[in-house]
Structure 1
Amino acid sequence: MNRHHPSKPALVSPVPWTDSFLFEFHGVALASRASPSVALLNATRYTSKTRSSWHWFLIHDPIAVDLLISTRDGGTLMTVFVLVHGAWHGMWAWDRVTPLLHQAGARTVMPTLTLDGDAGLHLHADEVVAALDGLAGDRDQARGAADDVILVGHSYAGLVVRQAADLRPHLVSHIVLFDGWAGGDGHSLFDLAPDSLVTAARAAAEARGGGTTVPAPPPGAFGITDSADAAWLADRLIPQPLRTFTEPTRLTGAVDKIPGTGVYCRPMTYPFDRFADELGYRSIPLDAPHNVMLSHPEAVARLLLQAADDLDYENEKLER
């Protein structure tokens, strides 16, 4: 990332009720902040939530900022998003989101969940745990400060990321669910889903999946109606092992101590708002289809970066 700025911006106005200042540089808004996270994305204005260790952030488009990283005690800190795809998908589900996060200076890790054979939810949770352990190992090898890790799950992966976080609570700073299935210990996706979904999935598995895999629904089932997007998605969807829907989660309660955000898409297909509320997560509505990463990647990136910014603000309050 480029830390060079040719001249100092001019102060426009203080915003005392938010402990913030607004600046203007060549007609573009800037904001002061001191965090290892990213600024809220706004093409015209951003108010930071911090007071000390000023850094300049040039907001050059509605999605990204020029500068992300600040330093503490000589260590470089960064927000890392671990992005976990939902059923019938692969890591490609985040293809339109990751460039926006990278442009903002964040790092992304995308575990691929095994969809061969009789894979189940526990295997998928272990694969996410392996990704978290890998991040921790990289940090230890570099002897650097701990990055903030935000664990993100879409749809079915809501169950996966919560079990993974329960196994490694010390490695996860925040959980974000996009239309995520989520429940308590012992709940499977089929336990949470309405009877109509369970019946349809089992029937499809029996008719076209040898009784062990659930064929992928058409793109319209994910809310994708644009013809080009639908064709792109249809070429990539793959069958999902039935066991991933029937295997119950194993939770000790450790995950419930990790703060979370639940984004639910409207119009709702399933009660994803209720799942988030019951977990005590902050609920955020988003007018978008279920496969929001494909249809609204900018909105997904904006919400993820806002979660990172809010997390950093909470961390700084604890440090004061």
Structure 2
Amino acid sequence: MPAAPIPARSPFVLLHGGRHGGWCWKHVAAALRQEGHLVYTPTLTGLGERAHLLSPSIGLDTHVQDLVAVFEFEDIQDAVLVAHSYGGMVASGAMERIADRVRSLVLFDAHLPRTGESHGDMVGPARAAKHVEMAENGGQGWYIPPSDASWYGVTDPEHAAWVNSHTTSQPLKTYQDPVGNTDRAWSHPGMFIECVPSTLEPHALDRVRKRHADDPEFQYRVLHATHDAMVTAPEAVTKLLLEAVDTSCPNR
């Protein structure tokens, strides 16, 4: 008798945060592939290896369209969509168009905005003003220069050198644009991973904790690692992401 077919495993789409690129998932992506999963690590327009496309016109909607296009052109189905940090803004907006292709939405120390909120709303007025100041002082008024790896909690010299050699500037507009409808992101099965200590504002964490309390299909996990845990603790991150495959409800 011919061998029974091996069941297809859910693909992973790993979305980076601000001033990062698909490169930051290198070790996690390799580990997931060893487990038999297809893994996509797209880089948003103007960042990472696409930094040559940086321009003042790039906004949040550009990045939402980037993510939607990956799902459509790769014909991705039943995926675990993992969004880190600013990537939560992008994934939340994109879910209006790709939710039927997503098995589970994992917010990895990431923002979960309500409809019409911006990244600035999520980080609070003080940090939003700091981003504007950074753009004015070192980004011609329209882009935010990279921060040192230590801002993301990366202190190991080898890891820090790698991060610092890869981070790129971020269009300020992406942090100021309001996101579109996010209802489907809020109603979709998923998981939130809080890195301790988190770089997120208390109000942002409070809202996802409340959602966990109210929604049995939304899991909440704590990871004692830095904000860039995919760099500093890839094994622990991989373990949680594999757990997310089984804590989801496909075809909701």
The Cα offsets for residues 57-94 of structure 1, whole Å up to 9 and x where unpaired, read as xxxxxxxxxxxx843xxxxx221111111101111010
How far apart are residue 275 of structure 1 and its match? 4.1
* Correspondence for 1:117 among 35, 55, 73: 55
Question: Within 2, Cα distance between the matches of 1:275 and 1:155?
Answer: 15
The Cα offsets for residues 120-167 of structure 1, whole Å up to 9 and x where unpaired, read as 11110111000111232xx7xxxxxxx521111000000101111112
Of residues 95-104 and 254-263 in structure 1, the stretch that sits farther from structure 2 once superposed is 254-263
Decide which structure has the larger Cα Rg and report it. Answer: 1
* Correspondence for 2:137 among 192, 207, 214: 207
Change (3 A) 1:167 1:222: same
Structure (1/2) with the larger helix percentage: 2
User: Where do 5+ consecutive residues of structure 2 fail to align?
Assistant: 47-53, 213-217
Question: Within 2, Cα distance between the matches of 1:282 and 1:304?
Answer: 12
Residue correspondences, number: 235
Using structure 2 for the length normalisation, give the TM-score: 0.87
Matched residue type, 1:212: W
SS at match of 1:290: coil
Matches within 5 A, 1:89-104: 89-104=20-35
Structure 2 match to 1:132: 71
Matches within 5 A, 1:25-64: none
CA contact (8 A) 2:92 2:182 kept: no
How far apart are residue 252 of structure 1 and its match? 5.5
How far apart are residue 169 of structure 1 and its match? 1.7
Matched residue type, 1:197: R
Matched residue type, 1:122: D
User: Where do 5+ consecutive residues of structure 1 fail to align?
Assistant: 5-54, 56-68, 72-76, 140-146
Using structure 1 for the length normalisation, give the TM-score: 0.69
Question: Within 2, Cα distance between the matches of 1:287 and 1:273?
Answer: 15
Please state if 1:301 is matched with 2:231.
no
Of structures 1 and 2, the one scoring higher in RCO (CA 8 A, sep 6+) is: 2
How far apart are residue 200 of structure 1 and its match? 1.3
Question: Within 1, Cα distance between the matches of 2:163 and 2:206?
Answer: 28
Matched residue type, 1:125: V
Structure 2 match to 1:41: none
Please state if 1:291 is matched with 2:221.
no
SS at match of 2:111: coil
Question: Within 2, Cα distance between the matches of 1:238 and 1:310?
Answer: 34
Change (3 A) 1:257 1:194: closer
How far apart are residue 96 of structure 1 and its match? 1.1
Please state if 1:159 is matched with 2:89.
yes
* Correspondence for 1:106 among 30, 37, 58: 37
SS at match of 1:88: coil
Of residues 92-101 and 264-273 in structure 1, the stretch that sits farther from structure 2 once superposed is 264-273
Question: Within 1, Cα distance between the matches of 2:209 and 2:89?
Answer: 15
Structure 2 match to 1:81: 12
Matched residue type, 2:73: G
Change (3 A) 1:88 1:252: closer
Structure 2 match to 1:25: none
Question: Within 2, Cα distance between the matches of 1:184 and 1:257?
Answer: 12
Change (3 A) 1:252 1:232: closer
Matched residue type, 2:186: D
Change (3 A) 1:133 1:305: same
Structure 2 match to 1:231: 161
CA contact (8 A) 1:80 1:106 kept: yes
Please state if 1:277 is matched with 2:206.
no
The Cα offsets for residues 1-39 of structure 1, whole Å up to 9 and x where unpaired, read as xxx9xxxxxxxxxxxxxxxxxxxxxxxxxxxxxxxxxxx
Question: Within 2, Cα distance between the matches of 1:165 and 1:278?
Answer: 21
Matched residue type, 1:79: S
CA contact (8 A) 2:190 2:247 kept: no
Question: Within 2, Cα distance between the matches of 1:175 and 1:310?
Answer: 10
Change (3 A) 1:128 1:200: same
- What root-mean-square deviation, in Å, do the aligned CA atoms of Structure 1 and Structure 2 show? 2.1
How far apart are residue 254 of structure 1 and its match? 2.7
Change (3 A) 1:275 1:154: farther
Of all paired residues, the percent bearing the same amino acid is: 32
